């Protein structure tokens, strides 16, 4: 091992870091063959200074690429250092990092060299080598290369735990503008193939218990936000379509990080839309775990999420008729919709109220954010909000009582004159 590997790792980890996904859960690979490793609940092994977890060794096989997508750091026209790992180098790094408990597995992506199949074949070969020769049972996340053949996708699915294709730009219009060489159909086809494969595999497993798993941790995708002028409504609708049509496990939203002087894109040095990204994730969670429909959170007349309050609170303020909710009677579905009550607190409330009527003190102890919830619930107490407050007033009260972590960094001072 030499300095050269260190250098390659530097280049190819740096080029891979714009992929957000680092999940290592959802698969249940057992270590039955006296081999190395297993998968289960995701484990985060470290956190970088931007607070993101490191769970997988996330690298590109190479950052040589024949495409010239404006938003991508590895685009053909970009003057950067290029490098490529050999198959053995990736395998060696993965195994040795894994044995030292640095990682949960491998996240392997690649720039596209020569053509899609040629690239995909290399990725599959690495996964195969790990699984068969090294009896590696850790997590493997492979990127499906848009345009790869069905045979290769099938083989990839047998070795990988998760496959993903990045949609990158949420609207077709934006894609045409920023990546004219890429075709949406090429992205959709492998996704569709994997979806069908998973459905078929589940059916077969019911009949033959020993059927090998096919992409056990499912598929995910990623969208760049803030690069092509799309609204939150476009993004969320696109995401919900993906969840619905391809049974995706996750859609990741990645605030665009300026990497190009291209005038079609935000200039280098402009801020990453972190707050917007955060609100989109909140909305995503509401649709997946809290029973909200995208249409309830966003619609063409209000196409963007509120910046200063979270989407659930914003929904509650728009729908005063749904409140107050009685904590001691309402069903889970309604309790979940109260601002300040999360999934865990809601379940605890349901469990605890079988034994006694709950009051404010209980709610506080169970972990409910009472400063927000108090305007929307009643409980076993005579003290509750009686004033007939308008949505605007409630918003003001809540905002004055809390300090947003995003606003803290840029306080706007009133001028005196």
Partner 1 sequence: MMSLVYDGSWGGLLTCIFETYERKLQAVSVVRKQLYCPGFFNDCITVQADDRKAGRVLKGLRCNLSPAGFLGFYACYLSELPQMEEWLLAYTKLVFSLKNAECAFGNDTVLKVSQTARMVFRESHRMKGFVRFALTRDNIFYSEVEPDFNVLPLISGHFKQRFTDQQWLIYDKKRKYGIYYNLEEVTEVQFEPPSRVPAEHSGQIFAEPEMQYQKLWKEYFVSTDIESRKNTRLQLRHMPRRYWKYLIETRDQAPE
**Least Cβ distance, residue 210 to partner 1 (angstroms):** 21
* Packing angle, helices 116-132 and 87-99, rounded to 10: 40
Q: Does 46 bind partner 1 (CB under 8 A)?
A: yes
The number of residues making up the chain comes to 417
Q: Which stretch binds partner 1 (CB under 8 A): 200-208, 210-218, 290-298, 346-354?
A: 346-354
DSSP-derived letter for residue 240 is H
**143 binding partner 1? (CB under 8 A):** no
Instruction: Give kind and range of the element (H or E) at residue 204.
Output: helix 184-207
Write down the least CB distance from residue 193 to partner 1, Å.
Answer: 30
Q: Which stretch binds partner 1 (CB under 8 A): 34-42, 160-168, 210-218, 302-310?
A: 34-42
Q: Which of 28, 96, 202, 304 binds partner 1 (CB under 8 A)?
A: 96
- Residue selected from 35, 320, 324, 342 as contacting partner 1 according to rule CB under 8 A: 35
Is the Cβ of residue 18 or residue 315 nearer to partner 1 in the bound state?
Answer: 18
**E-strand stretches of 24-97:** 46-47, 53-54, 56-60
Rank residues 238 and 345 by Cβ distance to partner 1 and give the closer one. 345
Least distance between partner 1 and beta carbon 189 (Å): 30
The answer to the question of residue 407 lying near partner 1 (CB under 8 A) is: no
Q: Which stretch binds partner 1 (CB under 8 A): 80-88, 154-162, 255-263, 389-397?
A: 255-263
Give the residue, chosen from 21, 23, 26, 57, that forms a contact with partner 1 under the rule CB under 8 A: 57
**Sequence-ordered list of residues with C-beta below 8 angstroms from that of 201, at least 6 positions apart, any chain:** 211, 213, 214, 215
Put residue 37 in one of left, alpha, beta given phi > 0 → left and psi -120 to 50 → alpha. Answer: left
What is the DSSP track for 287-314?
Answer: HHHS---HHHH-BTTB-S--SSS-HHHH
Q: Does 97 bind partner 1 (CB under 8 A)?
A: yes
Q: What distance in Å separates the CA atoms of residue 287 and residue 298, rounded to the nearest whole number? A: 11
What is the largest distance, in Å, between two alpha-carbon atoms of the chain?
A: 78
Of 208 and 355, which CB lies nearer to partner 1 in the complex structure?
A: 355
DSSP conformational letter for 336: T
Per CB under 8 A, 114 contacts partner 1: no
- Minimum distance from CB of 137 to partner 1 (Å)? 9
Binding of partner 1 at residue 417 (CB under 8 A)?
no
CA-to-CA separations, 394 to 50, 374, 375, 405, in angstroms, rounded: 33, 10, 7, 20
* Position 129 contacts partner 1 (CB under 8 A): no
263-292 residues near partner 1, rule: CB under 8 A? 271-272, 274
To the nearest 10°, the Cα dihedral for 333, 337, 340, 342? 40
- Please say whether the beta carbons of 235 and 223 come within 8 A: yes
Rule CB under 8 A: choose which of 322, 365, 384, 404 binds partner 1.
365
Question: Would you give the DSSP letter of residue 116?
Answer: H
Closer CB to partner 1, 49 or 77, in the complex: 49
The residue ranges that bind partner 1 (CB under 8 A) are 1, 5-6, 9-10, 13-14, 16-18, 30-31, 34-38, 41, 43-54, 57-58, 93, 96-97, 99-102, 255, 257-258, 271-272, 274, 348, 351-356, 358, 362, 365-366, 405
């Amino acid at each position: 091992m030499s300095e050269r590997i260190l250098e390659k790792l530097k280049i190819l980890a740096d080029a891979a870091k714009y992929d957000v996904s680092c999940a290592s859960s959802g698969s249940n690979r057992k270590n039955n063959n006296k081999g190395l490793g297993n998968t289960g609940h995701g484990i985060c092994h470290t956190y970088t200074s931007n607070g993101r977890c490191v769970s997988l060794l996330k690298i590109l096989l190479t950052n040589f690429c024949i495409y010239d997508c404006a938003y991508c750091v590895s685009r053909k026209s970009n003057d950067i250092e290029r490098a490529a790992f050999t198959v053995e180098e990736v395998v060696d790094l993965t195994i040795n990092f894994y044995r030292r408990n640095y990682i949960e597995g491998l996240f392997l992506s690649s720039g596209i060299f020569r053509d899609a199949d040629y690239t995909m074949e290399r990725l599959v070969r690495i996964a195969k080598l790990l699984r068969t020769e090294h009896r590696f049972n850790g997590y493997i996340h492979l990127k499906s290369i848009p345009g790869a053949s069905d045979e290769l996708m099938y083989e990839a699915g047998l070795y990988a735990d998760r496959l993903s294709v990045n949609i990158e730009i949420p609207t077709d219009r934006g894609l045409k503008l920023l990546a004219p060489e890429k075709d949406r159909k090429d992205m959709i086809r492998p996704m569709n193939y994997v979806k069908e494969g998973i459905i078929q595999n589940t059916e077969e497993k019911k009949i033959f218990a020993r059927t090998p798993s096919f992409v056990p941790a499912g598929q995910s995708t990623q969208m760049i936000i803030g690069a092509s002028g799309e609204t939150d409504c476009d993004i969320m609708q696109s995401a919900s379509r993906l969840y619905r049509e391809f049974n995706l496990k996750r859609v990741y939203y990645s605030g665009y990080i300026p990497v190009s002087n291209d005038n079609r894109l935000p200039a280098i040095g402009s801020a990453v839309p972190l707050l917007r990204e955060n609100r989109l994730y909140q909305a995503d969670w509401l649709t997946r775990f809290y029973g909200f429909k995208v249409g309830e959170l966003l619609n063409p007349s209000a196409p963007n999420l509120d910046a200063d309050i979270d989407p659930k609170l914003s929904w509650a303020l728009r729908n005063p008729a749904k409140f107050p909710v009685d904590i001691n009677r309402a069903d889970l579905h309604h309790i979940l919709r109260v601002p300040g009550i999360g999934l865990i607190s809601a379940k605890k409330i349901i469990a605890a109220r079988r034994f006694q009527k709950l009051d404010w003190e209980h709610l506080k102890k169970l972990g409910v954010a009472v400063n927000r919830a108090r305007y929307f619930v009643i409980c076993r107490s005579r003290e509750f909000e009686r004033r007939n407050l308008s949505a605007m007033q409630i918003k003001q009260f809540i905002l004055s009582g809390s300090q947003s972590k995003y606003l803290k960094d840029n306080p706007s001072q009133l001028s005196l004159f």
